[in-house]
Amino acid sequence: MLHNSAIRGYNIKNTTSKLIISLFGDDATVFLSEHDRFQDLKGILNIWCKASKAKFNIEKTEVIPMGSINFRQHLRNGTNNTALSIPNHIKIAKESEPVRTLGGFIGNNVNQCTPWGPVIEKIDAALDRWGKTHPSTEGRQLIIQMVVGGMTQYMTKVQGMPPEIQNTLQKRTRAFMCTGQGRPRIAMDTLTQDITQGGKNVLDLKSILITWIKTYLNFGNKRPLWTYVADGLIKQNATKNGQILDEDAKINPFLQDWSVNKTQSSSIPQDLIDMLKIAKKTNVTFHNMSTKIKCKLPIWHH
């Protein structure tokens, strides 16, 4: 119903579909542009509820403003002049207030470490229980994979993992692997190496972060919408040497010879900056192509 309605949602460059709704379990996130009306959305939901005999809990609806800080503040104060006016009984998220949606926590200027607090506590409790069983070194490696890897994989995928959290989990992992040996004497770089190289094949948290890069560099038909948004943000923050390219000729810094501003002056979200930094640190590069493939590339892009 929403896709066939008058609601515009967001048009994302280089995609054929517009972003209007995302679903996760029994949660739904609807994206309204400045031209859309909240009352129109409510009317559509009422029709859907009557047809399906279900009830939509409008009282639990939360609005996350998007746009400039002035627009966000005007929307919260009810002084915006756009068509998007929010009824007084609907909660509008404050600045720096995280809102749980689609399995993650989002918002404006949100501390990305905050959602990780409960996860760290669960990991600590689980490792403490397993530690009391006095597992072998091989058992500890499997427990780290199951507990630390299992409890962080989804959150990392939807939320990203801040460097502070990564450092905390690495310390927990190292301490658990070296329990009973006094102060840990084995570096994490050694523990994460393959057994054939003298390591213990312990979970490397960087490998979880690399899944973001893997998804971002998937240029197939099933490429997620967020990657196209990331493309636009990355292009807007190209460094000086990247400005020599025509805007339409820019595709991807991994495929072309231009760099991205990853400093504090960048407008790229921190999770994307972390992704780019991990890619550089792990030397993610475009594999050398054969001459046959090079001849098939569109010449105007190079």
Residue 104, CA distances (Å) to 179, 209, 296 in order: 33, 16, 41
Q: Which of 203, 236, 271 is the last residue of a domain?
A: 203
Let me know whether 141 and 181 are in one domain.
yes
**Residue 277: both structure tokens together:** 């930094």
Looking at the structure, do residues 122 and 198 belong to the same domain, yes or no? yes
pLDDT of residue 5: 81
- Residue ranges in the chain modelled with pLDDT below 70: 79-84, 180-186, 241-245, 300-302
The answer to whether residues 276 and 294 belong to one domain is yes
pLDDT at residue 79, as a whole number: 64
Q: What is the pLDDT of residue 122?
A: 96
Q: Is 146 found in the same domain as 194?
A: yes
Residues 246, 264 within the same domain: yes
User: What pTM value is reported for the model?
Assistant: 0.75
137: how many CB neighbours lie within 10 A of its CB?
11
Residue 165: per-residue pLDDT: 92
So what's the pLDDT on residue 177? 84
136 located within any domain: yes
Range of the domain at 289: 220-301
Q: How far is CA 295 from CA 218, 254, 290, 302, in A?
A: 22, 19, 9, 12
pLDDT at 123: 95
Q: State the pLDDT at residue 69.
A: 86
Identify the domain boundary among 68, 88, 106. Answer: 106
- pLDDT at position 288 is 80
In a domain, 2, yes or no: no
Task: Count how many domains the chain has.
Answer: 3
Q: Is 142 inside a domain boundary?
A: yes
Same structural domain, 137 and 160: yes
Q: Say whether both 118 and 198 belong to one domain.
A: yes
Same domain, 14 and 42: yes
Would residue 212 count as lying in a domain? no
Domain boundary at 203, 229, 258, which?
A: 203
| Rounded-to-10 torsion of CA 14, 15, 21, 26 | -110
Q: Residue 209 domain-assigned? A: no
